Amino acid sequence: MAKGDDALARKKNKSNRKKMNRKNDSATVSTRIAAIIAAKKRRQTGKRSMCQV
């Protein structure tokens, strides 16, 4: 192996691991979506309280 080959292999392994996790867990996908929706609601709460004044 050349000097940078082991680092490249490590990166490739990491990306492959991430892909496998993404495919296997549909639950993690739904939790990610839920987190996005929750963040959106948190952002918008301030707007609503301003409008009602």
Total domains in the chain come to 1
Half-sphere exposure of 51 (CA within 13 A, CB side): 5
The domain of 19 spans 5-51
Q: What kind and span of H or E run contains 2?
A: none
Contacts 24+ apart (CB under 8 A), 15-19: none
Largest CA distance in the chain: 67
Handedness of CA 2, 6, 9, 11 (dihedral sign): negative
Low-confidence ranges of the chain (pLDDT < 70): 1-2, 22-26, 28, 47-53
pTM exceeding the 0.85 threshold for the entire prediction:
no
At residue 50, the pLDDT reads: 63
At residue 47, the pLDDT reads: 67
